[in-house]
Amino acid sequence: MAKQPTGSKSKPSTRRRRSAATPSVPAAPERLSASVATPEPSRSGRSIRERHAAGIDSDQPQRLDQLEQPEAAPEVAQTPAPPAPAPEPEPMSLPAPTRPELFVVHVSPELATVAKVGGLADVVFGLSRELAIRGNHVEIVLPKYASMRYDQIYGLHEVHRDLWVPWYDGSIHCSVYFGFVHDRKCFFIEPHSGDDFFDRPAIYGYPDDVLRYAFFSRAAIEFLWQSGKHPDVIHCHDWQTALLPVYLYEFYQRLGMTHPRVCLTIHNFAHQGVVGGELLRATGLQHPERFHHHDRLGDPRYPGMLNLLKGGIVYSNFVTTVSPRYAFETKDQGQGFGLEGVLHAHQVKYGGVVNGIDYDVWNPEIDRHIPARYGLETIETKYDDKRALRQRLMLADNEKAIVAFIGRLDPQKGLELVRHAIFYTLERGAQFVLLGSSPDPAINADFWGLKRMLNDSPDCHLEIGFDEELAHLIYAGADMMLVPSRFEPCGLTQMIALRYGTIPVVRATGGLADTVFDKDHAARPLHERNGYVFNDYDLAGLESALGRAIACYRDYPGDFRALMHNAMRTDYSWNRPGQDYLNIYDYIRNG
């Protein structure tokens, strides 16, 4: 991936000052009301908590199709009787009422195609487009990383020269740039300080990551405040931006920023942003006893530490994760990495929405990165891509199936099972392709060792690195996509694979269980079955599903073809999740 240097970057000048323009941080009130989660009383006079107590089952994560609709304004009892109504005019055929346009700002550490580490980047890219297509005004606020794909940003220019962001006992000078990323309106914040928060070779992986993103979250909301933007909804993503609602309700609401509501989406509970008391000094969140409290940011596992993700859960108006199954697993099945209790305490505003896939990007009918385009009616053409993939990776051209893995090489992804799957696949007479990388040198070294060991095999290729274009060719050219995760909040690779008629072989966990249905065992009609699924995280489980998939490909090509059709027909576009998020936005705006 060609990473380009920032063009107009001014050198960091360690300029910290107390800014006259920056509103001073008000002293925190003595006590915060018990409903920290929705610190402002609802506009209808009832808190979200009360509204739920009135009707919604509070033992389960939120069913998003059951969100209560706002009530009509109550009638005023003493209103004098109105005069007799004038005769009704003839009914006219009026256009159906349209919902009002919302102003939504996503604040995110990642965005495809400019700053992508994993699936979060795809989600912000796809969801923001879906919301815009539905007539809403959508903007995205990001850090201005030195390592971004500047070739993917159109019309980048400076729009705000003097943003001073409170930090420690002074302020850091920032510039804000605007540019389009494939039509998405994006603001990029560039701090000028000796800390070089984003002027680094990689996006993550630094000892001060938590402070870097605590700063970014503060800069993002300061930018919205200073530029007079009053979005209806600020949509935050993961621990990196989870402090934003804390800042909103602790500082900015009292300065007059009363309009926005905050939705936080958690893409992975494994990463929470845990940090010591330094955070409070840096951010001006004074009163350690208040923020270390277990009702607010106090980490449930590490005494004395603060937890950004927890703060986001407590302070946001609504919290989603990326599949209903993962919502359940994190709250009730011990998969919340210590945050189970917090999720229980805030369960009335917690639910799961399965991610979508942007079919403008991931669609074999129009994909610019694959040599042969195909659809349901022209599925044969997929085999031209299979040949192209083999040529590119110097694999033997034969009748064998290709099993692929694409993903971050993270223990979450089931690396022992991936490793085993490579040898099992070769033993069962199929080919294996892997594309992945890890920020952990030990894991990378392990896979490099494996690559050297298998270097001479004509049936195996391991590509260690990040390569978006190659990923497209693998989705198109492979026959099966392996996702044997230990846990998986949603998983995009299986959903992308389905669109390309590449059959997912997955472990039944999180979003994988919500999106892939076993060909032989699913309690679903035959036409909805779209892959192979195993339950137990062990070698036998993996072999049972992968073995069946390879055998079906080899021995029952007609059945395998039918499965490919089912896969390609599955609709995991942003259409439905887009509506789910709009329902959530309406709910928190009116709650």
Q: Is 542 helix (H, G, I), strand (E, B) or coil?
A: helix
What b/e readout covers 509-527, taking b as 16+ CB neighbours within 10 angstroms?
A: bbbbbbbbbbbeebeeeee
**C-beta of 433 vs 546, nearer to ligand ADQ:** 433
Which class for 538: exposed (0-12), middle (13-18), buried (19 or more C-beta within 10 A)? middle
**C-beta of 332 vs 467, nearer to ligand ADQ:** 467
**C-beta of 103 vs 466, nearer to ligand ADQ:** 466
**C-beta of 166 vs 356, nearer to ligand ADQ:** 356
Closest CA to 436 of 456, 453, 414, 457: 414
**CA distance linking residue 575 with residue 525, whole number of Å:** 23
Query: Least distance to ligand ADQ from the beta carbon of 404, Å?
Result: 10
Query: Least distance to ligand ADQ from the beta carbon of 420, Å?
Result: 19
DSSP β-ladder status, 137-143 and 184-192: parallel
Select the residue whose beta carbon is closest to ligand ADQ and give its number: 118
**Half-sphere exposure (Cβ direction) of 576: Cα atoms closer than 13 Å:** 13
**C-beta of 474 vs 549, nearer to ligand ADQ:** 474
Query: Least distance to ligand ADQ from the beta carbon of 381, Å?
Result: 21
Closest CA to 305 of 273, 269, 334, 281: 273
Query: Least distance to ligand ADQ from the beta carbon of 327, Å?
Result: 13
The CA-to-CA distance between both ends of the chain, in Å, stands at 45
**Cα separations (Å) of 355 from 90, 514, 553, 573?**
46, 11, 29, 8
Query: Least distance to ligand ADQ from the beta carbon of 337, Å?
Result: 13
Footprint of ligand ADQ (CB under 6 A)? 118-120, 122-123, 267-268, 322, 355, 406-408, 435-437, 466-468, 471, 488-493, 511
Helix H, strand E, coil C: the string for 389-458 is HHHHHCCCCCCCCEEEEEEECCHHHCHHHHHHHHHHHHHCCCEEEEEEECCCHHHHHHHHHHHHHCCCCC
Query: Least distance to ligand ADQ from the beta carbon of 490, Å?
Result: 3
**CA distance linking residue 360 with residue 376, whole number of Å:** 16
Query: Least distance to ligand ADQ from the beta carbon of 511, Å?
Result: 6
Give the type of residue at 495.
M
**C-beta of 6 vs 485, nearer to ligand ADQ:** 485
How long is the chain? Answer: 591
**C-beta of 121 vs 262, nearer to ligand ADQ:** 121
What b/e readout covers 211-226, taking b as 16+ CB neighbours within 10 angstroms?
A: bbbbbbbbbbbbbbbb
Query: Least distance to ligand ADQ from the beta carbon of 270, Å?
Result: 8
DSSP state of 300: S
Give the type of residue at 2.
A
**C-beta of 192 vs 382, nearer to ligand ADQ:** 382
- Does 229 carry a binding-site annotation? no
Which residues make up each annotated binding site? 116
Which residues make up each annotated binding site for ADP-alpha-D-glucose? 116
